[in-house]
Amino acid sequence: MDFKDRKILVLGKNGRLGRALLAQLGDTGTGLGHIECNFLDDNFTGKLESNISAIINTAAYTNVDKAESERDKAFRINAEAPDELAAWCEKHHTPLVHMSTDYVFDGSCNIPYREYDKTEPINVYGESKLAGEQAIKAQGCDYLIMRTSLLYDATSENFFTAIRRKLREQDLLDIIADQICAPTYTSHLAKALLSILAAAINQPRFPSGIYHLCNSGEASRYDFAQAIFEQEKIHSQNLKCHTLSPITMGIYPTPARRPLNCRLDCSLARETFGIVMREWEEGLRECFSRLSSRMK
């Protein structure tokens, strides 16, 4: 990636993706977190400087279950704030990269979703993220809306770290086996995003649109958990768990419904930018390799 002395602003600098982006951007990146730029504030765009070359928005309300009882807050952060951010970007001629989710779909399709497929979220979180997408498109700024799937890293609270913790605490783990997605390693996603942004900025006409971007392949949450378990048995001697048991989502009720099919077809990103992300198993192995290096 080559930004040619440009300055890229990352919003949500303390989140898993924000940290990964800033680590790869180095001196060309700068970040703001919720303390410096709080999406709940009426005039948060007043904290933005006009001399930046592009904004990557990774900030979001992501608690899927809690969103059911905090609808107003979820919509403020995931829809209204991106609307205001896009208006600022249009005024200042600044491209916007905005992160979205596979949860904008209802999961009833039996093949990977394309960008033009019907969106019909089945929970408040998905509704709020879809509303954010629609608001950005309506503002008319240069934009890339990037939908991804089951994002994880080794340090923040996410499915990967939750499974690792439970493997040390419980004898048996029940894991949902009928939700299919593409586990996406944060460092891989950050690298792909920056390559896409660099390509987009350097094109004669900015390729505004919605794109799907996640690690290649597919896995159920049970498959992903089983792969984590196998890696843990290689790297650790402190496991209490001896069995993972596959269950259906209906057995494990939650306040928010989840789509069963979360697979995303990423061919448009490949056709437009030449980007093909690596297999999800490679991301998992790399994540464990980095963990092992830090513990030495």
- The secondary structure of the chain in percent helix, strand, coil, rounded to multiples of 5, reads 45, 15, 40
Buried b (16+ CB within 10 A) or exposed e, 79-91: bbbbbbbbbbbbe
Question: Which stretches of 69-184 are DSSP H helices?
Answer: 71-75, 81-91, 124-139, 159-169
Rounded Cα gap, residues 109 and 90, in angstroms: 35
**Number of Cβ within a 10 Å radius of residue 278:** 15
Rounded Cα gap, residues 260 and 109, in angstroms: 9
The one catalytic residue among 61, 103, 113, 125: 125
125 is catalytic: yes
In single-letter form, the type of residue at position 170 comes to Q
Residues classed as catalytic: 125
